[in-house]
Structure 1
């Protein structure tokens, strides 16, 4: 009997995700000499948008295709469980960041560290800030991606209910939420500070859902349009955005009386120019084999290994970037020192990914060896039944 083989993992997702993780780490150490080489300097979007788009693609494979009658409840609970993991990871990176900056402030007599990345409120209004930290109302700088992602996973099952009947309607509803959030400036409120979250999940869910819907469409037998004019439009947009950032042309008023969500470059509400930039890049990667083949690496490629362990690597990268930030504040930055910091941080992330792979392989091998013992040494001995001896009933007197 032929046993169907397990589906081969598409390493392109892992490789692109790993590149986004490395880029995010570099960007989270602002001022280092490698920062000008990252994607945010070559277009309107940055690694955060790429990370969310690829997360939508991954979610389609992990949850979207399994969201069917009879399994939708289980799939929903799995998504919410993942959101719970992200919640704990967000709290972990937040507390680690506070501890890191407090340590450097004490050890190097640098109280100014406690005024950085939104820590001031924690020091001055501790009780309210603690409430904000556990409810995501108060987020430290560079610690705001996981909170947005967790909320997106909470609302995606409702959109998937619509997508069960029509992916187009699912994207349309998601787009209306994005537009309404941008037009009316609504989103989860900060506490105790004013305003809303830096990465508004009501806006960013649209990018996530686009990746989710596109992947589900392809996996259901559809295909992405490959018209030459569409490819040309995507290339043109990327070139224009590159020129815009490099010249730069930020002083030009492009609003034309339209809302900022359609014409601005706001990251909180994921304005259309940023959204179109990451979608143009993602579209070209998806439809042009010459580009997508660059990301198709072997499963043991270092980038593929890192991409498979995205969450722990991201958490480690966030913590390491906070150490790097604090270190650079209390020490005079140097070119070689900054390069060493970035190289050490990236190497540590790779090391963590390889450790997790090694540990999981060790556990799998141990389980396989335990299961194989009866097959190697024969079946376990069966208990021998004792012979039943009939007792004579005592004769009645």
Structure 2
């Protein structure tokens, strides 16, 4: 195994799985270690994605201009899915061994159902928040925002459509896509166990096909399809799975000067493109839009390559990698540790923020103040969740003693 600066990922095993940090290396391989072992960089990166999603879901605030979407083709959604792919790869790779696949698949399907319930719950709460705002502030126009009107006008069709994922409100479409990805995960892990390259090829061909022929889950109440197409985004998810497995078994990705330069140039072009709004330039070259466009629904190649370029630089440049290696007690680490709960809480806060922005004339200063307070609440909620976990751990020995 190569060592030194050209070997950014390095794993040594001791006991079950032990993770060692090399000062000379970049993002160390993240493997399922002992129960107390956890690489905080994944948590920190997830936390930053979640906080950015919250900020962007209250449009009109000044902090929104500082988020990733203003500096390149991709945004926090791509980062979230890539990190999720890495996380599930780490969580389920060893559990999906021969003889354990049925149990592991059952746990994955249970997680998918949890995500589905969370999506339906947040959608219902979102509807209640906007309906309550319409009544409280005498602003019926609120019911025409974020794709609510179809459900208001056709409630008998709208409610079943929500439950069957055939109608999604604006800013409430990540969890449904993620739930479908989890349904696909057992098949991905099975293929990965046989041949990781085959998984990437099959996933890439599916991404290309659905992008060329615009294949996506349909909406029931109006024309069109899901805003985030899981059949496209599964490619990024699969890349994360393979990356986590590869990094856990070898020094990968290795730092390559040419590839590093290409990534920096691509990020620079993306930055200039977004800052100067060069969207009117025709980049089609007669090729399908999924290869040359900037569509988020089908995860066009420029967006996909942008998040992968960012990930490569984070993984191979030690100085960048160490920025995310924060202590387990750090507030950002705590936020990332409770990803689903924080996402749900952040979505509810964002929907309340949108209503308040509407009734206050969308004043940027108010939105900025609200978002700043909301981020503080996300940190506080993460601490509260940590406290609950601590209570559970402390109470377990006492319960065992009493039972004895």
Q: Same fold (TM over 0.5)?
A: yes
Counterpart for residue 93 of structure 1: 122
Give the secondary-structure state (helix, strand or coil) at the position aligned to 2:62. Answer: coil
CA distance in 2, matches of 1:339, 1:106: 25
Counterpart for residue 227 of structure 2: 198
Greater CA deviation, 4-13 or 132-141?
A: 4-13
Give the CA deviation at 1:249: 1.1
CA distance in 1, matches of 2:94, 2:206: 23
2:215 to 168, 179, 186: 186
1:119 to 138, 142, 148: 148
> Which whole-Å deviations, capped at 9, do the CAs of 1:62-100 have from their partners, x for residues lacking one?
113321111111111111111000001001110000000
1:302 to 300, 324, 331: 331
Q: How many residues align?
A: 374
Please say if 1:288 is aligned against 2:317.
yes
Give the secondary-structure state (helix, strand or coil) at the position aligned to 1:34. Answer: helix
CA distance in 2, matches of 1:373, 1:3: 33
Tell me: CA distance 1:102–1:363, structure 2 relative to 1, closer, same or farther (3 Å): same
Confirm or deny: 8 A CA contact 2:292 2:302 kept in the other structure. yes
> Which whole-Å deviations, capped at 9, do the CAs of 1:271-305 have from their partners, x for residues lacking one?
00000000100111111111110000000000000
CA distance in 1, matches of 2:138, 2:330: 44
Please say if 1:14 is aligned against 2:43.
yes
CA distance in 2, matches of 1:71, 1:287: 34
Matches within 5 A, 1:371-382: 371=400
Greater CA deviation, 365-374 or 323-332?
A: 365-374
CA distance in 1, matches of 2:263, 2:378: 33
Unaligned 5+ segments in structure 2 are: 1-13, 17-33
Confirm or deny: 8 A CA contact 2:61 2:365 kept in the other structure. no
Greater CA deviation, 225-234 or 53-62?
A: 225-234
Query: TM-score by structure 1 length?
Result: 0.91
Greater CA deviation, 162-171 or 144-153?
A: 162-171
Counterpart for residue 279 of structure 2: 250
Confirm or deny: 8 A CA contact 2:206 2:232 kept in the other structure. yes
Give the CA deviation at 1:7: 5.5
Matches within 5 A, 1:168-179: 168-179=197-208
Confirm or deny: 8 A CA contact 1:50 1:278 kept in the other structure. yes
Matches within 5 A, 1:62-141: 62-141=91-170
Query: TM-score by structure 2 length?
Result: 0.90
Confirm or deny: 8 A CA contact 1:90 1:146 kept in the other structure. yes
Q: CA RMSD in A?
A: 1.5
CA distance in 2, matches of 1:65, 1:274: 31
Greater CA deviation, 100-109 or 159-168?
A: 159-168
CA distance in 2, matches of 1:7, 1:108: 49
Give the CA deviation at 1:220: 2.7
Give the CA deviation at 1:49: 0.5
> Which whole-Å deviations, capped at 9, do the CAs of 1:129-175 have from their partners, x for residues lacking one?
11210111100000000000000110121122111111011011011
Confirm or deny: 8 A CA contact 2:246 2:252 kept in the other structure. yes
Give the CA deviation at 1:372: 5.0
CA distance in 2, matches of 1:104, 1:265: 35
CA distance in 2, matches of 1:259, 1:164: 32
2:375 to 328, 335, 346: 346
Tell me: CA distance 1:3–1:270, structure 2 relative to 1, closer, same or farther (3 Å): closer
Confirm or deny: 8 A CA contact 1:255 1:263 kept in the other structure. yes
CA distance in 1, matches of 2:146, 2:181: 24
Tell me: CA distance 1:335–1:260, structure 2 relative to 1, closer, same or farther (3 Å): closer
Unaligned 5+ segments in structure 1 are: 375-379, 381-397
Give the secondary-structure state (helix, strand or coil) at the position aligned to 1:190. Answer: coil
Confirm or deny: 8 A CA contact 1:105 1:113 kept in the other structure. yes
CA distance in 1, matches of 2:63, 2:311: 23
